[in-house]
Structure 1
């Protein structure tokens, strides 16, 4: 179920500000990492607080909510690149030779 227009506008403004901040931090990986960590923390805070406490206590209502979630795109998960995977990518690039750009 989409947000009401006024709440969607507020959310859009916040998301645009976050995207603008990310663009300002381009080329600053440590600051971007901090931004990503804070976004992930916000996700967890919402998930473990307001979302969890608003779940229906009735089994039928909960099942109905879960079915609607799956139909509308599933669980909002923030994937995290594992440090080991990232290190392996860097090593592979280093093995390819000097002055090679990092793989995306």
Structure 2
């Protein structure tokens, strides 16, 4: 097993699946509630930041060899975790599309 392998153990995979399912169910319960869904996204972003700034940073490599293994694992297994935010232009385009649709219905 590699030093910084991001391959999940069975226990870790089960934990992640449980979390994923819980978040998905919470979002589905609020399917048409934009404010509630935004709240869920904000909580996920906060959790991501908290893990990154505490537990993850505390676990970073302390020597070059370990750093090399971590960077190699990141390169091979999907890069750096990132939470993408919706762009304001995308939001405005959606509003424009809806207003155009409403105008054509009148």
Q: TM-score range by the shorter chain?
A: 0.7 to 0.9
Structure 2 match to 1:41: 46
Structure 1 match to 2:102: 99
Query: Per the alignment, in what secondary structure is the counterpart of residue 99 of structure 1?
Result: helix
Structure 2 match to 1:21: 26
> Are 1:88 and 2:92 an aligned pair?
yes
The size of the alignment, in residue pairs, is 98
TM-score, with length taken from structure 1? 0.82
4+ runs deviating over 2 angstroms: 90-95
Superposition deviation, residue 91 in structure 1: 5.3
TM-score, with length taken from structure 2? 0.80
Superposition deviation, residue 7 in structure 1: 2.4
Superposition deviation, residue 90 in structure 1: 4.0
Unaligned runs of 5+ in 1: none
